[in-house]
Structure 1
Amino acid sequence: MTSNNHRAQAMVLAAGLGKRMRPITDTMPKPLVPVAGKPMLDHVLDKLAAAGFDQAVVNCHYLGQMIADHVAARAAPMVVTSPEVDLLETGGGVKKALPLLDREAILIANADVFWTEGREALFDRLISAFDPDHMDALLAIYPVADGYGYDGAGDFFWQVDGRLKRRGDAASAPYFFTGVQVLSPRLFENTPDGAFSLNVVYDKALAEGRCYGLVHDGGHFHIGTPEALSDSEPVIARALEIERDKQAAAGGK
């Protein structure tokens, strides 16, 4: 990742409609919904700051002015917004923002995900593990059996060499995608104009054997509904307490 101060090295996807979180999201975009005392978006941006990112792009669409106003005064990282008049989905949103982003590799995270760190911060692990000679995509994945609140069938098989394979026709797969990743901008060459899913670029990387996975070793919380938010708050509070205790112990060594 370059330290070029004129282009952001990271992007946070914050343009979704948050339909499953209604009625909370009737008046508030999901990235601004508080979890553990602060908006989900701020948890992600704070983690970017801790990882040394000085700039980040945040896209916005639904109640987008609220997001733009919220991040306007932020300095760590400094935030550039990428407004979308029409919702561009994940892939289209990143493609629109490419002129603002690093030319070599982009760390991308969903604004509405929450995780606690493992032995090393997830962003740091992804940055260290991304190898542009062999990878165009490095996705943070998590075991289906351990994801709090996750009730899906999984997304990927993690192969012995670190490459990913889609679940396909299998009834289930052992890992799901966390919404955190590093992508090469070259994946967006010859992609559609307008709205499209990041699955388009994942399929390209998978077909070329250049899509890898990194298993997150901390906690991951799926917060998709108001009920899930309420249920997860005490569990998250305890997980954050454990995380702080570990950080304090490590700092005292």
Structure 2
Amino acid sequence: MREHADPKAPLAAALLLAAGRGERMRPLTDTCPKPLLPVRGRPLLAWHLDALARSGVRRALINTAWLGEQIPATLGAAYPGPHGTLVLDYSMEGRDFGHALETAGGIARALPRLDSVFWLAAGDVFMPDFPYDPAVRTQFLASNALAHLWLVPNPPHHPLGDFGLDDEGRALDLPPHQCSERWTYSSVALLRRELFAPPWCDIPPGNPGGIAAPLAPVLRRAMGAGRVTAEVWRGTWADVGTPERLAAVQG
């Protein structure tokens, strides 16, 4: 393990996921990490950075693996967006372990460097108008929820969706035949660090062993206890997972 959290360093209020290989985007991702592919003349990841800065977030952490050195080389230690400077730090999974740790593994790796409540977003999702509203974060802090998810209408490539939503705003892990309506997880969420501790997650903070693990089972455990809330986002959203979807968002 090469990476150590500085106990005196300010904690990041957001984690952006940028470690994936982007297999379906090949050959474009053979030489460029998917979050750096240009969308409307700017790196895809820059749209999240602008939205975070616009909402008052001042420090974000980005995890990397595939071609990971390109991301800090491109974005640097500070992102001078039009709405304020966003300080950037990096969790270099590829450098430290030789591979990506998947979502839960990557979060656990970054956990000592994240605030007690933090925003999460995938770097390959185009969601330029999302507000990262501090008032919603405050409301989440006052609740007993471990996670708050933003769901979107199901896109053509994912017609059955991921989760249901009850009348009290709780996310439901029910199969399609038991749920009148299911939605797709947008990849944006507010999370508590507590979610990445037993009984929800068994990966040690900092993930010193480099355990690769997905996020969905962690969320489903918390949903079973009624500790995950959600709401529907009807603004611009696209999972930029293939060259065809990349072309569709160029506008």
TM-score (structure 2 length as normaliser): 0.82
Counterpart in 1 of 2:108?
95
Q: Percent of aligned pairs with the same residue? A: 34
Pairwise mapping of residues 191-230 of structure 1 onto structure 2 (< 5 A)?
191-193=201-203, 194-230=211-247
Q: How far 1:61 moved relative to its partner?
A: 0.3
Q: How far 1:151 moved relative to its partner?
A: 3.6
> Cα deviation per residue 1:167-209 (whole Å; 9 max; x = unaligned)?
4253884311000001110111132441111113202211210
Amino acid at match of 2:194: R
Q: Unaligned regions of 5+ residues in structure 1, if any? A: 235-253
> Cα deviation per residue 1:28-82 (whole Å; 9 max; x = unaligned)?
0000011111111111111111111111110000000001212214242111100
How many aligned positions are there?
Answer: 225
- Of 156, 170, 191 in structure 2, the residue corresponding to residue 183 of structure 1 is 191
Q: Equivalents in 1 of 2:140, 2:178: separation in Å?
A: 30
User: Larger helix proportion, structure 1 or 2?
Assistant: 1
Counterpart in 2 of 1:232?
249
Instruction: Answer whether contact 2:48 2:128 (CA < 8 A) is retained.
Output: no
Instruction: Answer whether contact 1:13 1:60 (CA < 8 A) is retained.
Output: yes
Q: Equivalents in 1 of 2:32, 2:72: separation in Å?
A: 13
Instruction: Answer whether contact 2:45 2:124 (CA < 8 A) is retained.
Output: yes
Pairwise mapping of residues 42-191 of structure 1 onto structure 2 (< 5 A)?
42-75=46-79, 76-84=85-93, 85=97, 86-102=99-115, 104-117=116-129, 121-124=131-134, 126-144=136-154, 147=155, 150-168=157-175, 170=177, 173-190=181-198, 191=201
Partner of 2:69, secondary structure, is helix
Q: How far 1:132 moved relative to its partner?
A: 4.4
Pairwise mapping of residues 10-49 of structure 1 onto structure 2 (< 5 A)?
10-49=14-53
Q: Equivalents in 1 of 2:134, 2:39: separation in Å?
A: 23
Instruction: Answer whether contact 2:77 2:89 (CA < 8 A) is retained.
Output: no
Q: Equivalents in 1 of 2:245, 2:228: separation in Å?
A: 31
Instruction: Answer whether contact 1:91 1:200 (CA < 8 A) is retained.
Output: no
Counterpart in 2 of 1:247?
none
Q: Equivalents in 2 of 1:23, 1:167: separation in Å?
A: 37
Partner of 2:150, secondary structure, is strand
